[in-house]
């Protein structure tokens, strides 16, 4: 059985990879002069997305476990 922490990480990683793929496709059409800035913003966005998604899924799992015990 997969632990809850592993599921949290897996959900965060899968959605982050989807977001990163979307950003890569979208940012290819940026002008050459601002491409490095766009890549930096995209990378920071992907990291922030991972952290937020992990915390949200973790909180949902915690609340779900708490409701099952009562």
Tens-place pLDDT, residues 1-34: 568 788 889 999 999 999 999 999 998 888 989 9
Measured in whole angstroms, the distance separating CA 62 from the mean position of its chain's CA atoms is: 19
Q: Where are the alpha helices (DSSP H) in the chain?
A: 4-27, 35-69
Question: What is the model's pTM?
Answer: 0.81
- Is the per-residue pLDDT at 43 higher than 90? yes
Which residues are within 8 A (CB) of 59 and not within 5 positions of it... i.e. 6 or more apart? none
């Amino acid at each position: 059985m997969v632990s809850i922490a592993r599921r949290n990480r897996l959900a965060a990683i899968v959605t982050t990879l989807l977001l990163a793929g979307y950003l890569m496709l979208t940012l290819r059409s940026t002008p050459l002069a601002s491409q490095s800035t766009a890549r930096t913003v995209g990378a920071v966005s992907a990291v922030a997305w991972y952290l937020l998604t992990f915390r949200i899924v973790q909180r949902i799992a915690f609340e779900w476990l708490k409701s099952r015990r009562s």
